[in-house]
Structure 1
């Protein structure tokens, strides 16, 4: 990688149409798992104008009112305009119930080594996990700052500091790197939708003070006089969101992972129960990469897992530290293979993935669907633990 460069990452608020779809899909997953932790479910969502479409396939004993869940999420996010709200949007559904899959209906406590080995992958996947030492969460700085600004846009709206904002918004942060390390903030872009006719000068001043300055408080690297700040205002009495542009589950993979600073799978993370390896494999790969960096074995680390249908284990496990490792990548790779179990049933058991929606009030996966799946220390996501760092350090 180049030593001196500028890298930009973007995030979106929870009201962006793509994120609206992600949250609806994961809220459906939450509801199934809250009633039936052994449920199998895939939920996909699309929205445009006042029309929302849901395709749900499930195998479960749970009874879920799917349109009600979608309307609940729309209302929680804050869409209440005459053009698009929980009350007036049209919801079309395609719901398919499949016979109970007894091979997948087992409690984590029942899983023996023989059972874990016998449970095979059902879909091909290449997944990536990444970690670096830019931030305390071991995430790349550009995406962390972009998420922070997006969260702040949502906060000032919900707390009525800037009540004229729509739930729909976008942020982008450019970070300057020197000698491979974050050095400064080169640019900040915020796109905000407003539902009232106000002076653009006032709106931009409000966003500078209440969003940008507030978000960067306490940050070591902050904007300066050379930072380009671009605040774009869209006036729309209909509230932007689905009335302005369409949304689809799984279309914000870079926002969900590493802001394109590192590789990620093309598969959606949201809308799938915690057995689909293209979802949970990405979490397991992040867990391994984060522990490698937390152990001090490298300043950055990528773990790549390749899964094939009909196999219980990845057919390939590759580790790349991009020249930052204190020992050869081959030795780190051997440690990862020794201490991390990437079989789907083992991941599910280690992280208690089916029980998380019951353990967190209001569900787990819906909360995960906005502001990134990785680096989520606020949700105590199990793949963010660094409980194997000492073991890796000692053996290295």
Structure 2
């Protein structure tokens, strides 16, 4: 828990190369699961200049055209200016279709308690979930504000400021005083534009302030003040941006995907993995537990740590840290979590129906998580964001 300090978090728009890779990876996960809920897939993507590299290992009743999916995502994100476009970029791929006999699988709807106990995780992982009472979605304020700015920046590019290119970055610094957010220290945006001619840097800064910063803070209790430092392209114009100036890789933005580095997060990528990968869904289960702890009033801040070992159905260790804000002992919180939450691999898949979600979202489910965070999303009905265990934890 922060005492007196300044803490910064960043977010990026969908056109950032790392986030573009995440979206491609999760679009492939979505498409395979939409056709076959039993599909297994591990996808990684890398982008540099006008070249995309795909590595896909999968098992499914039906294959998909991975190249077409990749080009569709690039086009939808907004890369429609040369030299990087979805329809003419080079795509190199390594596709490995594995035998179903080599892959762990099950129908979670047919499992009883004993069967769930017999399904082990196949990866070692330490997963962290965090929640705090700084914002309505129980996220730290810096990452909450950075995501809002990134969302407004992306909206402005699509609807209000057509000269903007898809790649953008936001950063918010928050001063903490006696453990609480006290003031907005700084707001920084780096935005790219399609041409060097329009507009001038001064006009760009005025436009961004009017259609991005002002509406993003309009309903926030903590507003920028006369001493807040606001930077918009402090290093000058950025032309085109994206893969032409920096490379991208799946899973490189874990802080943006989770808590803005205010709390611990796993080093493993969240995107590009089907819902039987514990290093993805374990992070969701840990967030679910931490959020319910804070929502129940058991602590103002809570970090849940789940440690998984290969061959075990559930975590070998559950740890809780409340940073001095707990209303009950941490040992008691652990006892209640162990009693009322199912952290076993098959139990998580069963409760959240993770393999069925893509089919219910024709425009994609997991791909939507690949931008603006996997947690704390008021725009998405995420099962791990529900606070439906409060009564159990307070008992």
Q: TM-score range by the shorter chain?
A: over 0.9
1:167 equivalent in alignment to 2:166: yes
User: Do the aligned residues in 1 keep the contact of 2:2 with 2:176 (CA within 8 Å)?
Assistant: no
Match of 2:183 in 1: 184
Change (3 A) 1:370 1:2: closer
Q: TM-score, normalised by structure 2?
A: 0.97
| Structure 1 unaligned regions, length at least 5 | none
Matched, 1:279 2:290: no
User: Do the aligned partners of residues 42 and 186 (structure 1) sit closer, same or farther apart at CA in structure 2, a change above 3 Å counting?
Assistant: same
Kindly state the Cα deviation for residue 361 of structure 1 after the two structures are TM-superposed. 3.0
Q: Does the CA-based 8 Å contact 1:193-1:234 persist in structure 2?
A: no
Contact 2:156 2:212 in 1 (8 A): yes
Paired residue secondary structure (1:115):
helix
Name the CA distance, whole Å, in 2 between partners of 1:235 and 1:139: 32
Question: With structure 1 as the length reference, what TM-score do the two structures score?
Answer: 0.97
Cα RMSD after superposing both structures: 1.2
Match of 1:135 in 2: 135
Which position in structure 2 is the counterpart of 1:76? 76
Does structure 1 residue 317 correspond to structure 2 residue 321? no
The 5 Å alignment of 1:70-149 reads: 70-101=70-101, 104-149=104-149
Whether the aligned pair in 2 keeps the contact of 1:357 and 1:363 (CA below 8 Å) is yes
1:17 aligns to 2:45 (yes or no)? no
Instruction: Output aligned runs, 1:248-287, within 5 Å.
Output: 248-287=249-288
Rounded Cα–Cα distance in structure 1 between residues aligned with 2:94 and 2:69: 15
Secondary structure, in 3 states, of the residue corresponding to 2:379? helix
Structure 1 residue 241 and structure 2 residue 245: aligned?
no
Q: Is the 8 A contact 2:191 2:238 kept in 1?
A: no
Q: Deviations over 1:33-57 (max 9, x none)?
A: 0000011100000000000000000
The 8 Å contact of residues 257 and 372 in structure 1, kept in 2 or not, is answered as yes
Q: For residues 151-188 of structure 1, give each alpha carbon's deviation from its aligned partner in whole angstroms, at most 9, with x where no partner exists.
A: 111000111x1111110000000011111011110000
- Which 5+ residue runs of structure 2 have no aligned equivalent? none
Is the contact made by 2:201 and 2:237 (CA closer than 8 Å) also made in structure 1? no
After TM superposition, give the deviation of residue 377 of structure 1 in Å.
2.5
Instruction: Please report how far the alpha carbon of residue 102 of structure 1 lies from its aligned counterpart in structure 2 after TM superposition.
Output: 7.9
Report 1:311-390 matches (<5 A): 311-390=312-391
Distance 1:10 1:44 in 2: 23
Shift of 1:103: 6.6
Q: Distance in 2 between matches of 1:71 and 1:289?
A: 38
The count of aligned residue pairs is: 392
2-side partners of 1:261 and 1:35: how far apart? 38
Distance in structure 1 (CA, Å) of the matches to 2:52 and 2:284: 29
SS in 2 for 1:319: strand
Q: Which moved more, 1:94-103 or 1:117-126?
A: 94-103
The reply on whether 1:40 has 2:43 as its aligned counterpart is no
- 1:230-283: per-residue Cα shift (whole Å, max 9, x none)? 11166455x210111100000000000000000000000000000100000000
Cα distance in 1, alignment partners of residues 67 and 180 from structure 2: 47
